Amino acid sequence: MLVGKVIGSIVSTRKNENLIGSKFMIVEPLSVMNGKGERIVAVDNVGAGIGEIVLVATGSAARIGCNLSDCPVDAAIVGIVDSGTGLSGV
């Protein structure tokens, strides 16, 4: 699991039929903000908004975390961070 900031959204009118109705967000892991890593696209089933700090599950845990076990999902937003040590100034 990683912590990141939602920096945008993606609209896809053509996608796998199991993903119809899913919202996709661009997440920048906190490590990227320090000059490392890459941005990811994550399915959002918790209603995260741009600018929010979120928890992202990756790999097979992402499919389980968003109840899409039969979908091609590799990252899913599974929580919105309310507060945390070391997150100030983000």
pLDDT value, residue 35: 60
CA count, 13 A, side-chain hemisphere, 20: 3
Per-residue pLDDT of the chain (90 residues; tens, 9 = 90+): 899 999 999 998 888 888 888 899 999 998 755 566 689 999 998 999 999 999 999 987 887 766 667 778 889 999 999 987 666 555
CB 63 within 8 A of CB 71: yes
Domains and CATH numbers, the chain: 2-80 (2.40.50.220)
Distance of alpha carbon 62 from the chain centroid: 9
CA distance 68 to 46: 14
Q: What pTM was computed for the model?
A: 0.81
